[in-house]
Amino acid sequence: MVDQEVAREMVAAFSAADFPRMRSVLADNLCAYITNRDGGVDQVIGADAYLARVEAMDLPSAQFRVELTQLVTIRPGLVMVMVEIHAARGANTLHNHAAHLLQIQDGAIGAWWMVEALPAESEAFWSARP
């Protein structure tokens, strides 16, 4: 898979909450820097640890979608992805934007940097339970 295809596959899998599909494009030793509620980052090491964090969001309980809005190859092996996020659970809604810088090697994401436009709102939405 070429770099942009890997990025597109990850966004599609995330939007579908398809965890095995997500896992298929993550390197075992993934190093991810994920936005936290304060606008800083939490480092997550390992594909399974990253997926455990995503599974804790309980994506299937939300009307959720991620739309790819822009995809740029910075250089071979480095792709920037912009997305728009929409989610709803009962009366709670979320509309957010995020940038993802993905380092891709041998068809797998080995490093991932994430920046969200509204980190506190995102944290509040995903931590609330119906």
**Residue 116's CATH number:** 3.10.450.50
Distances in Å between the Cα of 35 and the Cα atoms of 3, 22, 24, 115 are 23, 19, 23, 6
Residue-wise pLDDT for 36-71, tens only, equals: 888 899 999 999 999 999 999 999 889 999 999 999
Which pLDDT tens digit goes with each residue over 83-94? 999 999 989 999
Is the pTM higher than 0.75? The answer reads yes
- Domain of 122, in residue numbers: 3-127
Longest dimension (CA), the chain: 43
The count of domains in the chain is: 1
Q: Determine contact, residues 75/15, Cβ cutoff 8 Å.
A: no
